[in-house]
Amino acid sequence: MSYIHIKSPIVSILTVFVFLIYCFPTFSAVKIKGGVITSAEILKTQKPEPRNDLIFNLNDFDKTHLEQKLTLEEAIRFENRIGFGAPYDRVKRYIGKTRKEAIDLVINELENYQDNFEWPNWKDNYIPTSFIEQGLERSKRSCRISSFRTDLEFKWSRAILSNKVPQFEKLALFWLDHFSVAFDEYNQTHSFVQHLEFIRKNSIGKFDDFLRQSIMDPAIIVYLNNEQSTTQKPNENLAREFLELFSLGEGNYSENEIKNLAKKLPGNGINHVSQNFQLFKYKISGQTLSAFGQDFQSADEFIDLVISHPAFGEFISKKFYNEFVDLNDPSAEDLAILVSTLRKYDFSIIKLLKATISLRKFWDNNNRLTLVKSPIELVYGTARTTGVQGWKKQNNLSWLLFLSKDFGQDLFNPPNIAGWPTGKEWLSGQFLEKRMSKLKTHFSYKNLMKSYKTETAIGNEINSKKIADEYEYNVGLEKFYSNTLKDQLAVETIVINWIPKDFETRKWAEINVGFYGVKLNDKFWDGINIRFGTDINSKKKQKYKHLNRVELHHGYSFPDIFKSWEGSWISSWNGHYSWNSSFPEGPRTQNFNAKSKSERLLLIRLLQTMEHLIDNETFSPYLDSNVYVKEWLKARISETKIKKWNLEDNIQNTKVYSLLYPAYDTQYKKFDCGPKRAGIDFAAVRSVGDNFRLLLSSKFLEDKNFSLNKLLLPDLDLGLNDEDFQSILSYEGYQLK
């Protein structure tokens, strides 16, 4: 059975101090109002007042305005607000239909939509490197983490431009902003791609499901520092933003709700190797707590109380109204219609959208040009409307990303947890002038008038898996693993994250090591983070010392290194199970001996693998500069070389495929990571091939009933010909929709 190890106050303070120095720089730098709470008191809450103003009998909804037929101008405005731009094929289909028929058309497309987003091959076939990032940086090695973000940016861009159901992309972008996470704040490739999956999977689902999954999203957990939260000192960031920005909005909860929810969230963490969500049940408070005047025992029960709150639905309904209808607050009746629709239809996002675009206000002639286009709507919408033929740069998509960022919208790096600016904020400062002057320089009437032969169109598919599989480093690695013998440990590479300079004299000294890609018999670990150390200089009584030891933390290997964490203690700095033992020999080896034979063999082999580093001293500046550590490691490794651990004569106990800086005359490869290893082909992912040109064609040129100027600005007649369309792009009115 596990137990809590109580340290003296001085040791506890020192532990926290060391943690702050060495661990905080790797976490999110986002500044929010929350922080750590320490109260063990069960805080009281009050039952909220009824909200009869949010109740509307939907049978009384007046639908007569929806029987009007759409003109060309209304069709263009409709598409501009529910999608991106006004592509000819999309607009043409609405003309002559009633408003109800047009709404039913786009809603039916969403109800039958199957997302075919092009997820990167590296999502499932490339091991994240963040758990060895500290060692890589200290060794001046870069895996170009930003390249993975760029790959995703291009893929998301292609989806916005090419999706035949652009209203889905509009909703996905809305939710990407609602559940806001900035990639560059913490540089975790795989947790972020899971965040994008979380967004796209739920964008047209149910709002309550979205909320339940949000507290298990690894990117949100890291961005809001919840992996630092402990049972003793819960961090309130995730709880606060869940209530303020995700679900109810300000004014509908108290500080006590925040603090009580925070006590149930420390168990929601991540695996620090895989970057997947991992639940640590022992980190969750077992108290029965209060929220909105009722008891709850779990985070899921708390969310049940949120969903049954009288004000639930108001916050998200207002956001939908501001996104699709008007920047001002909705009327009391319109708000009640939206909230009542959300509740009636089991929190369906599609039904909420339908109700929003069915409001009379949405179609009101006095409600034209009242919404501000975000930079992505402005840039990508114009690109969709003109078609590739109207672009000045037609060979790749880079300019769309760069221009949107220049206008203030960095796709995967919102400025804070509240998301991107909204409404008129997009036009503040120099942004309006910049948008008016720069947008027009990226489109060309001359290019638009050039003929393009479509009959020669060919595919330009990106097969990142094939690229990765054929990469020489990966081919050799596959053979390396396949030739591994029974009981022989195979490791792709070893990275020393940290060795203290005063290892020889330190009270508790340790070597923090990351093993990347580990295979032993029929098991494979993406990574294992382990610590070999000594407490020989500590002031503990001799009988309590481990002398030489091994230490592991739950959640720092993938898959888990142990079947059971019996004999563990709970870390004071991260609340995780921690396990240690004298190792490989010493006075307190009972924890080691209690493990299964395969688990003991793994630990022995991991220590033996360190011999590869000692034999290649240029591998690490730590070992180069610390003779004592090298000798200490050699002594520990020699203790493992007894018959019961060794393989047959002339057979290596361990083998390593690559090192960070191998000597030229060794069998080791140089460790490879980054875009090439992952199979990222930037030339392909950003390219505009013939199929893409066909999909984003300028078909309006073939229809005399359509003009480019009308498609771009349906609500105003500036008296310009199509050849002057770039003047429209520099007009203030074009910033609106």
The residue extents of the domains of the chain are: 63-118+149-196+372-460+681-737, 213-309, 472-678
Alpha helices (H) in 189-331, listed in sequence order: 189-202, 207-214, 218-223, 237-241, 255-262, 299-307, 314-324
Residue 340, classed as helix, strand or coil, is helix
Q: Is the pLDDT of residue 572 over 80?
A: no
pLDDT, residue 691, reads: 87
pLDDT, residue 25, reads: 34
User: What value does the mean pLDDT take over residues 84-107?
Assistant: 97
User: What value does the mean pLDDT take over residues 485-510?
Assistant: 94
User: What value does the mean pLDDT take over residues 336-349?
Assistant: 98
pLDDT, residue 459, reads: 41
pLDDT, residue 97, reads: 97
Return the minimum-mean-pLDDT range out of 348-352, 410-414, 646-650.
646-650
Other Cβ atoms closer than 10 A to 346: 11
Confidence of residue 21 (pLDDT cuts 50, 70, 90): very low
Average pLDDT across the chain, whole number: 90
pLDDT, residue 28, reads: 36
- The DSSP-derived string for 650-676 is T--SEEESEESS--TTSSPEEP--SHH
Q: Rounded to an integer, what distance in angstroms lies between the CA atom of residue 226 and that of residue 347? A: 27
The tokens 């490197």 sit on which residue? 129
pLDDT, residue 166, reads: 98
Confidence of residue 16 (pLDDT cuts 50, 70, 90): very low
Q: Is the pLDDT of residue 92 over 90?
A: yes
pLDDT, residue 662, reads: 87
As a whole-number percent, the residues of the chain with pLDDT over 90 amount to 78
Beta pairing, strands 577-582 & 557-558: unpaired
CB 593 within 8 A of CB 469: no
Q: Is the pLDDT of residue 2 over 50?
A: no
Residue 316, classed as helix, strand or coil, is helix
pLDDT digits (tens, 9 = 90+) for 438-457: 999 999 999 988 865 443 33
Q: Which residues pair with 39 in a beta bridge?
A: none
Residue 41, classed as helix, strand or coil, is coil
Tokens of 5: 């190890």
Tokens of 345: 């239809």
CA distances for 728 relative to 60, 79, 733, angstroms: 42, 18, 8
pLDDT, residue 462, reads: 62
pLDDT, residue 40, reads: 59
Tokens of 94: 């609405």
pLDDT digits (tens, 9 = 90+) for 599-620: 999 999 999 999 999 877 665 6
